[in-house]
Amino acid sequence: MKVFYAASHLQSLPPGHRFPMGKYALLQSSLAQRWPQIEQVQSHPATLGELALVHDTDYIQAVMGGNLGAAHQREIGFPWSTGMVERALCSVGATIMAARCASLEGLSGNMAGGTHHALRERGGGFCVFNDVAVAARLMAVEAQRRGAKRFRVAIIDLDVHQGNGSAAIFKDDPSVFTLSMHGAKNFPFRKETSDLDIELPDACSDEVYLAELDVALGQLERHAPFDLLFYLAGADPHVDDRLGRLALSEQGLSERDARVFAWAHARQTPLAFVMAGGYGPTIEHTVGLQLQTFGHAWAYWQRWQNLSL
């Protein structure tokens, strides 16, 4: 199984910045230690042409040229730097590579990504470009070039925050189904309309969450089959997450991952997973939850390849 990463050292943040950038390097070293069989591949940057499948060229140029206004940089949450640009491009690149690899091998992932708050014309909430949206469009374009008459994608967004960017980008695109399960009272406060939005109350328990997930996957079934799935496996629905507001346990999140991978596997649909958010009390805590996702991914990939465990 191959997974892709954008070198996280590319972007350095000012001391005391609230974004836990260190989690990416820790995920890489922890994953290498726990599952050395999983191949970690450094990504190439996405091209500007790929970004333009989804984003306005004015916005792309403003990011590339360092012409984002101060207010827009605050909205994104990162000060502009060449490193910020490079990391954003490589993170989109990693999701594109994971999508291609998943299409060939059944399953792959990006060890970062899930920047679902990025809209067509602006970034926000630690998201510069919308990696999953770019990859979904690109895969559809490539399928059309190969002569495919249809190519349908579903985005299963289980980060605790609504996938407002993906919802807005694919609003009028019936070939991409957007599903978002998120905290009703959480960021973004102005929500967009996904094809399926499940809003969860504060302090939502494992039981309620998993029951809602079953309902959501049941509804998704009605729109199947899909040619490719993207799964945003945010660690931020956990009870100890600083930004989450829900109350899922470690076991609850593990069960969530298991159900999504099982759903994809039962339908023989390729799946690319991305990390999305995670703001635990420590980066070790967040990485521990993300490793659970890799554990399920690794188990399902082996089954997909028909190997014995």
| Binding residue (CB under 5 A) for Zn ion from 100, 117, 161, 191 | 161
Segment 68-87, which members bind Zn ion (CB under 5 A)? none
Q: Are 303 and 265 in contact (CB under 8 A)?
A: yes
Backbone angles phi, psi at 157, to 5 degrees: -105, 100
278: helix, strand or coil: coil
CB of 235 to Zn ion, least distance (A): 9
Among 18-26, 161-169, 223-231, 297-305, the segment contacting Zn ion (CB under 5 A): 161-169
CB of 162 to Zn ion, least distance (A): 9
Name which of 32 and 203 has its Cβ closer to Zn ion.
203
Residue 9 is classified by DSSP as G
| Binding residue (CB under 5 A) for Zn ion from 50, 192, 195, 236 | 236
Q: How many C-beta atoms lie closer than 10 Å to residue 254's C-beta?
A: 17
Name which of 20 and 234 has its Cβ closer to Zn ion.
234
Tokens of 239: 């009870």
Residue count, binding to Zn ion (CB under 5 A) = 5
Name which of 252 and 270 has its Cβ closer to Zn ion.
252
107: helix, strand or coil: strand
CB of 226 to Zn ion, least distance (A): 23
Cα of first residue to Cα of last residue in the chain, in angstroms, is 14
CB of 86 to Zn ion, least distance (A): 23
Helices 250-266 and 283-304 sit at what angle, rounded to 10 degrees?
A: 30
CB of 61 to Zn ion, least distance (A): 28
Task: Answer yes or no whether residue 280 interacts with Zn ion by CB under 5 A.
Answer: no
Name which of 187 and 298 has its Cβ closer to Zn ion.
187
Site string for Zn ion, 238-277 (x = CB under 5 A): ---------------------------------------x
The residues that are catalytic are: 117
| Binding residue (CB under 5 A) for Zn ion from 50, 131, 157, 159 | 159
Tokens of 278: 């995670």
Tokens of 251: 């076991």
Segment 173-232, which members bind Zn ion (CB under 5 A)? none
Tokens of 34: 């726990």
Q: How many C-beta atoms lie closer than 10 Å to residue 61's C-beta?
A: 11
For residue 167, give the nearest of 183, 186, 188 by alpha carbon. Answer: 188
Residues, the chain: 309
List contacts with Zn ion (CB under 5 A).
Answer: 159, 161, 234, 236, 277
